[in-house]
Structure 1
């Protein structure tokens, strides 16, 4: 069942791409109102907007449904009960980006010696 849904999903995605590439932009129909020769096209003087727009909407709906179906199939095949997820999150070790003192001692970066008192440092540079 998963393979069938996946094949339909991929074919729908390719169909959406093809339909979008075949559509004309909004500015392309402006010449048709001034007699741009669009009355002799395959889809008539209105252009192909209605056909491609409806077909794209149908393909988008099928794509959404197959995406949702694949998500449900993936969740069911994971074999993890819903009750175990909060317990797994709580039992995970806490990760921190702040290094500990032991990690700092093993670092290759040299440390900077900061003087304890600031009496040696003048507040205003000498001129």
Structure 2
């Protein structure tokens, strides 16, 4: 599930980047190249959104939604390192051994 959402997330991100780069700006008309006429339209009303702006908005919503879902899934995901770090390690008990002080080598 996580891997499928990650692949969909990457595909949506690439398509969103493509749609943003393809779109023209609000002041990208003939007057914008000569420096006139763009000051009134850059921050003005754009009217009804066309296919490109609507698609970009939908892709952005899907992108942010998938970001939240993947972030939530990755916080609850347990990796192999975490599985092994939770294992209890048996304690080794040191048993005192009496030293032979007679100087003889045990055989």
The TM-score normalised by the length of structure 1 is 0.45
1:19 corresponds to 2:19:
yes
Alpha-carbon distance in structure 2 between the residues aligned to 1:64 and 1:14: 14
- Residue number in structure 1 paired with 2:56: 56
Count of matched residue positions in the alignment of Structure 1 and Structure 2: 64
Alignment of 1:6-45 (within 5 A): 6-29=6-29
The TM-score normalised by the length of structure 2 is 0.53
Alpha-carbon distance in structure 2 between the residues aligned to 1:21 and 1:77: 35
Structure 1 residue 26, shift from structure 2 partner: 1.1
Alpha-carbon distance in structure 2 between the residues aligned to 1:30 and 1:18: 24
- Residue number in structure 1 paired with 2:2: 2
Alpha-carbon distance in structure 1 between the residues aligned to 2:8 and 2:70: 11
**Which ranges of structure 1 fall in alignment gaps of 5 or more residues?**
32-48, 81-127
Larger proportion of helix: 1
CA deviations on 1:67-118 (whole Å, 9 max, x unpaired) are: 11111111111489xxxxxxxxxxxxxxxxxxxxxxxxxxxxxxxxxxxxxx
